[in-house]
Amino acid sequence: MADESSKPAFIKPLAISKRHPLLNWLLAILLMVSGLYLSVIEFAGIEWLSRSGCLIVVLGVWSSLGGIIQERLLISRLNFQHRINIARTKRKLRLLRVTEAHRDSELQLIADDFDDKTESILQAVRLQLGILEVSLLITGTLLWGFGDLFFKLA
């Protein structure tokens, strides 16, 4: 088997972005700090912490849309790899003139591998997406709903 680094980019193993959740959380923290600062200096009122919560909820919704797009892109890349593997295997088996049963078993192995990879990608993306989306939505909703009380009680 060839070294992974020598394969073309479309054949390399598919990876799920680890930066997406980190960037979203950094942006959410930046929004919280900005909202807190604007509320402390009372720039046009003290509602900025609540407003930052609203923006964090919007960020959570956008991150879920980004996760759906990422999932679709990964699956389409995997489909492309799958079609290439099937074409190469059929060509190789045709040149070797193997029996129909052997050909079917080889193609079934490729199909099973494709199904396993698809399932693992879907599980990983959905888990990552679910954790990010839920944490942003809960944090943003709490700030949005109760952010003004922080300054009224202080």
pLDDT in tens, 71-123: 888 888 989 999 998 899 888 888 888 888 888 888 888 899 899 888 888 88
Whether pTM > 0.85 for this model: the answer is: no
Amino acid at the residue 110: I
pLDDT of residue 97: 84
Terminal C-alpha separation, the chain: 66
CB crowding 94-106: b at 16 or more within 10 Å, else e: eeeeeeeeebeeb
Selection from 59, 77, 76, 75 nearest residue 21 by Cα: 59
